[in-house]
């Protein structure tokens, strides 16, 4: 696992093809072994179903059609509030764009401070060498009270690993 110092050195070296942008607050976003990631402005919010609706994996065409009926794309300005009520689910992506060279992999995870409140922030945790893009975040409020998230706030963290030659 790379240390804070190693991450900062690699990010400064333009020849590495390693990038995490934008870093809005280096003092707050860098921790001892990774970088905190922020909630980006693009979300897909699941609406509550009325009536009997089920996703049947044997009927993928039906699943795709129902997803369009029960999901809504939302783009919010930086700093605006996003409300997640108990049982709500949303897909989001990080504000930061990640680019990994062929010799680095990464793991992303939700910040534990949110988990203690009942907000689960799941990701496709393993990020393969050569990846370039934003990280998808799956937000689920498993708690008993509504939560307010703000676009741009730190919600996840990413750690980097050197690949063996």
**Interval 58-87: pLDDT, tens:** 777 776 666 666 677 889 999 999 999 999
Distance CA 110, CA 37 (A): 9
Distance CA 47, CA 71 (A): 6
Rounded mean pLDDT, 139-159: 94
Domain-embedded: residue 156: yes
E-only strand ranges, the chain:
19-21, 30-31, 34-46, 71-75, 81-84, 89-99, 104-110, 119-122, 126-127, 132-141, 147-150, 154-162
Domains identified in the chain, total number? 1
Domain-embedded: residue 88: yes
Please answer whether residues 141 and 88 qualify as being in contact, where contact means their C-beta atoms are separated by less than 8 angstroms: yes
Residue with more model confidence, 68 or 34: 34
Rounded mean pLDDT, 32-42: 95
Rounded mean pLDDT, 24-47: 90
Q: CB 22: neighbour CB atoms within 10 A?
A: 10
Domain-embedded: residue 64: no
Domain-embedded: residue 104: yes
Residue 40 belongs to a domain with what CATH number?
2.70.40.10
Domain-embedded: residue 72: no
What pLDDT is stored for residue 112 in this prediction?
86
Domain-embedded: residue 118: yes
What pLDDT is stored for residue 159 in this prediction?
96
DSSP character string of 115-155: HTTTEEEE---EE-TT-EEEEEEEEEE-SSS-EEEETT-EE
Of all residues in the chain, the percent with pLDDT exceeding 90 is 64
Domain-embedded: residue 29: yes
**What pTM did the predictor assign?**
0.85
Q: What is the mean pLDDT of the chain?
A: 88
Q: Which domain holds residue 21?
A: 4-49+79-162
Active site residue 28: no
Domain-embedded: residue 58: no
């Amino acid at each position: 696992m790379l240390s804070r110092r190693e991450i900062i050195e690699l990010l400064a070296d333009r020849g590495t093809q390693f990038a995490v942008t934008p870093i809005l607050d280096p003092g707050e976003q860098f921790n001892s072994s990774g970088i905190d990631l922020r909630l980006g402005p693009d979300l897909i919010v699941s609406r509550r179903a009325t009536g009997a609706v089920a996703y049947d994996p044997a009927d993928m065409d039906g699943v795709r059609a129902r997803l369009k009926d029960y999901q809504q794309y939302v783009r919010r300005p930086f700093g605006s509030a996003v409300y997640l009520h108990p049982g709500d689910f949303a897909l989001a992506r990080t504000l930061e764009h990640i680019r990994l060279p062929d010799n680095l992999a990464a793991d992303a995870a939700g910040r534990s401070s949110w988990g203690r409140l009942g907000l689960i922030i799941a990701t496709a945790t393993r990020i393969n060498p050569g990846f370039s893009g934003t990280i998808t975040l799956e937000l689920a409020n498993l708690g008993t009270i509504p939560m307010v998230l703000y676009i741009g706030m730190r919600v996840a963290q990413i750690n980097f690993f050197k690949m063996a030659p």
